[in-house]
Amino acid sequence: MTVMLTKSDWKRLESFHLHCQRRILGIKWSDFTTNAEVYTRSGLQSIQSIVRRCRLSLFGHVARMPDNVPAKAVLCVACDVRDKVPPFPNWRRSRGRPPITWLHQICSDCGLSAGDALNCAQDRAAWRTYATASTIYLHGLALTTTTMTVSTRTCK
């Protein structure tokens, strides 16, 4: 089971990340240094960007595993269910609001459907470029993406 972080959890984690950077850089609270300035001086990305890059990297790793590996089989079924393809004819989703899962995060991180992300991740070099390019931003500034073609599918 994967625990998804809430907005307040991200805020607390980001503030801890900045607190550590300020201590390492020797910035005192009385210096009135902005968060953007701290990021510029440290050269680090935001913690959300780092987690997003790791999440996309793990997704690509599992997507490229051989088909007989259980993790890959589960990922393929989860991608099919996410794209509204039931695993078997009688299958029904349980009642209630669907939980936000790791796969939902992957889809929102890369802006692709689960099946398209799975196909794009098959090309390691392209996926690595895509995963790192889609996470380069500082403290909530504009998200940068690239466009590439992988085996007749276009990855945004």
Task: Please provide the average confidence, as pLDDT, over all residues in the chain.
Answer: 79
State phi, psi for 149 to the nearest 5 degrees: -110, 130
Tell me what pLDDT residue 151 has. 39
Check residue 136 and report its DSSP letter: -
CA distance 87 to 77: 6
Which of 155, 152, 153 has the alpha carbon at shortest distance from 130?
Answer: 155
Q: Among 6-10, 67-71, 109-113, 133-137, which is the least confidently predicted range?
A: 133-137
pLDDT of 21-45, one tens digit each? 999 999 988 888 898 999 999 988 8
CA distance 63 to 65: 6
Task: Judge whether 24 and 41 are in contact, CB under 8 Å.
Answer: no
Share above pLDDT 70 across residues of the chain, in percent, rounded to a whole number: 82
Tokens linked to 48:
């959300």
CA distance 8 to 15: 11
